[in-house]
Amino acid sequence: MASAPKELEKLKQKLEQRKADNFKAYEKYVMGNMSKEEYLQIKVTNADAVETLEENLQSLSLEYDKAVENKNQEQSPFLVVFSKHKDLEKLSRPIMEELIEVVNFYDVNHIEVICKFQDEFLELINTYGDSECEIC
């Protein structure tokens, strides 16, 4: 299901291309560069293709939304812990123990914090946030 957004985008592009083809054919017809029969044949062909693409787009979109909803219902420990602390204003010892694996002190200016859910957190940042963040 990871490729579903790409497939949705491809379908949208194909749909827009078919609509653009209809408009170009109409322009050619109006300018006298295409016969009425040719224009109507292209219009019918594209109308069928547009209808099929719209149905496929709607179907894939619903399927993707359902998969995302199912995945969200199967929450990982990472999501459970982080959603519990989403409005965190102060870091207490129990919260630190829940979120942080180890803190390494190298010198006064260099401290390394290793999170318990470091990989998941970095994936979240790379997907939705600042990819240059140096947290965890």
Tell me, what's the pLDDT at 1?
Answer: 52
| CA–CA gap between residue 53 and residue 119 (Å, rounded) | 38
Bigger pLDDT: 96 vs 46: 46
Tokens of 86: 């989403």
Tell me, what's the pLDDT at 21?
Answer: 92
Q: Where are the alpha helices (DSSP H) in 1-136?
A: 4-30, 36-73, 77-84, 93-99, 118-128
Q: Is 114 helix (H, G, I), strand (E, B) or coil?
A: strand
Average pLDDT over residues 85-111: 84
* Residue 136 binned pLDDT confidence (cut-offs 50, 70, 90): very low
Tell me, what's the pLDDT at 120?
Answer: 77
Q: Are 11 and 71 in contact (CB under 8 A)?
A: no
Tell me, what's the pLDDT at 86?
Answer: 72
Average pLDDT over residues 98-114: 88
| CA–CA gap between residue 122 and residue 130 (Å, rounded) | 10
Average pLDDT over residues 99-125: 84
- Above 80 in pLDDT, residue 74? no
Digit-coded pLDDT (tens) for 5-47: 888 899 899 999 999 999 999 999 999 999 999 999 999 999 9
pTM: 0.48
Residue type, position 95, single letter: I
Q: What is the largest CA-CA distance in the chain?
A: 81
Helix axes 118-128, 77-84, angle to 10 degrees: 70
